[in-house]
Structure 1
Amino acid sequence: MKKQHVRVAVVQSAPNLFDKESAFQKIESYSIDARLQEANLLVFPEVFLSGYPRGLTLGTRVGSRTSGGRKDWQRYWESSIDIPGEDTNRLAKIAKENELYLVVGVVERDQEFSGSTLYNSIVYLGPDGEVLGKHRKLMPTGSERLLYGQGDGSTLTVIDTPFGRIGGLICWENYMPLARTAMYAKGIDILITPTADARDTWQATLQHIACEGRCYVLSSNQFVTKSTYPVDLAGYLDIEQDADVLCRGGSAIVGPLGEYVEQPLYDQEGIIYADLDMSLVMQSRYDFDVVGHYNRPDIFQLVVNETKKDIVSFKLK
């Protein structure tokens, strides 16, 4: 029997860019806060560990790259994490100490081949101190494609918890109708959407997805100011003339009929809490179940390839 009520928390913040320890300090601090507020689930923004390089060109123009941009990228690589690895063990320890399901957006370093490719990922940690799974962003957005590799269907992760099934899609992945359908078909009850999109249209997206999927949607966004950027970056000139606030946030919690449970938080760092009545998920599907009675499999079918995408395979002679 699932728990009918769960207290959730969504963080709106950003670390000092490319500073892993700064990110961990914030994760530890907000996790303690969440424990004191008796939260069961805590969510951090897209690539919170160790930052989203908003506004930086990393020395890239069509047809050329600069040596300074390459050095900035190396700092990003050095502040990324391995899954599994020492840093994920540290996250798992934080989750266990604070008895939380902890969901963190991270920059993940490829361990399978060269070790050089980075992925925009979500890592899931359990209150028992275990790494429960990860998700790699399937399609990096715009110029993110130079920073991050493409994930595959093997990390369309959904995790069963005592209060329901949780899983996530990252930022504009949520504009991919078939990706959403795959998550709905996995029985998602709480969809987690770490993001870097602070536009008004993102709020319409959250409400639509909640209403479409008849699930709770937890959106965790960044609040970023120029003060979090190292001034010795080669690319600091890229943002020098920008406004001080680079991302205003907009973290929110939406219920399974598309209504706000917690309104968007703007123009400040913070954490929002909500007590979710999970019985409302089932009640909301009474008249609309997008992969159930409101589906027409005789007309529409979706095939999802969940095999791991191996670039190279070696065979013994």
Structure 2
Amino acid sequence: MINRHVRVAVVQSAPTLFVKQSALDKITSLTREAAGKGARLIVFPEVFLPGYPRGLSFGVRVGSRSHEGRKDWQRYWESSIEVPGPETNILGELAKELEVYLVIGVVERDQEFSSGTLYNSMIYIGPDGTFLGKHRKLVPTGSERLLWGQGDGSTLTVIETPFGNLGGLICWENYMPLARTAMYAQGIDIYIAPTADARDTWQATIRHIACEGRCYVISCNQFTTKATYPTDLAYYGDIREDNDVLSRGGSAIVGPLGEYIVEPLYNKEGILFATLDLDEVTRSRFDFDVVGHYSRPDVFQLVVNDRKQEIVSKMAYSD
């Protein structure tokens, strides 16, 4: 009989910004802690590896960039990872040792066309150590566009697991109704929503998604203080006068009828735990199935381009 229960852990923490090894060390220690308490699905926040550079300007103004800002960005680039690559292999070994699924937000360095582009990505690793897939954020928000390129429809990823279908979108992608619909149409049961948004309004978003998609929603945010920022950054002064707590967190777990399974955690590091009963997803869809009996394909249809977009296409010609 298929086990439709899974114990999950949601990590709310932050590494030392721009220090890859700090993130890897934290992922290792916190994964071990969570697995030791029975978790089999462990989720880390948006771009946990190597951190979310909240408050930094990188010396950018409309129409101009600075040399010092380019050097700060280079540090970010140097702390990014290739997916798959050496770091995902390390994380795969960890997942295999502990027999857990890992979902981790990373800064991904493009390795196909140009090493100069970074992506805000979410990676999935299985309990046998296999790299299962990734999702690249479709639209970086606001000034995030200075840091990350745009993903495409080829990484609207949903992973089949023994306990249900696993996938998700990153931060404000979750405000994109058509992107959500594309995920629902793949039968998503556990919806991962890593974020950098610690405002009260985010909680309304994740509860709505759970109720709309009739799925569990796992929202994961960093708890970040100025102590996690290297003080030798050229633009450290951007945050010097800010409050010590730069992101208060707000990680939470929501059930498929929109109720909290674990309420938001604020103003401290921690790990949230819950045992999810996937039969609750089935029961919740009795009266509302957003892409099933509550859809109207005769009125509304969504077209998703899931092809990988390529800047250069090679064509073979024959004589």
- The Cα shift of 1:313 comes to 1.7
Determine the structure 1 residue equivalent to 2:20.
Answer: 20
Determine the structure 2 residue equivalent to 1:91.
Answer: 91
2: distance between equivalents of 1:294 and 1:174?
20
Whether contact under 8 Å (1:92, 1:131) holds in the other structure is yes
Determine the structure 2 residue equivalent to 1:286.
Answer: 286
- The Cα shift of 1:2 comes to 3.4
Q: 2:98 is aligned with what amino acid? A: N
Deviation string 1:54-102 (CA, Å, 9 cap, x unpaired) is 0000000000001110000000000000011101101111111111100
Q: 1:191 is aligned with what amino acid? A: Y
Determine the structure 2 residue equivalent to 1:76.
Answer: 76
- The Cα shift of 1:227 comes to 0.4
Whether contact under 8 Å (1:2, 1:164) holds in the other structure is no
2: distance between equivalents of 1:103 and 1:246?
23
Aligned partner of residue 144 in structure 1, secondary structure = helix
Determine the structure 2 residue equivalent to 1:156.
Answer: 156
Whether contact under 8 Å (1:248, 1:268) holds in the other structure is yes
Does residue 212 of the first structure (1) align with residue 187 of the second (2)?
no
1: distance between equivalents of 2:304 and 2:102?
27
Q: 1:118 is aligned with what amino acid? A: L
1: distance between equivalents of 2:241 and 2:214?
43
Whether contact under 8 Å (1:216, 1:281) holds in the other structure is yes
- Percent same amino acid among aligned pairs? 72
Deviation string 1:101-138 (CA, Å, 9 cap, x unpaired) is 00000000000112110000001000001000000000
2: distance between equivalents of 1:68 and 1:95?
38
Determine the structure 2 residue equivalent to 1:56.
Answer: 56
- Return structure 1 stretches of 4+ with deviation > 3 angstroms: none
Deviation string 1:148-182 (CA, Å, 9 cap, x unpaired) is 00000000000000100000100000000000001
Determine the structure 1 residue equivalent to 2:187.
Answer: 187
Whether contact under 8 Å (1:135, 1:156) holds in the other structure is yes
Q: 2:167 is aligned with what amino acid? A: G
Determine the structure 1 residue equivalent to 2:147.
Answer: 147
Q: Which segments of 5 or more consecutive residues in structure 2 lack a partner in the other structure?
A: none
Determine the structure 2 residue equivalent to 1:265.
Answer: 265
Q: 1:239 is aligned with what amino acid? A: I
* TM superposition score normalised by structure 2: 0.98
Determine the structure 1 residue equivalent to 2:256.
Answer: 256
Q: Which segments of 5 or more consecutive residues in structure 1 lack a partner in the other structure?
A: none
2: distance between equivalents of 1:298 and 1:2?
35
Determine the structure 1 residue equivalent to 2:166.
Answer: 166
2: distance between equivalents of 1:44 and 1:223?
11
Superposed CA RMSD: 0.7
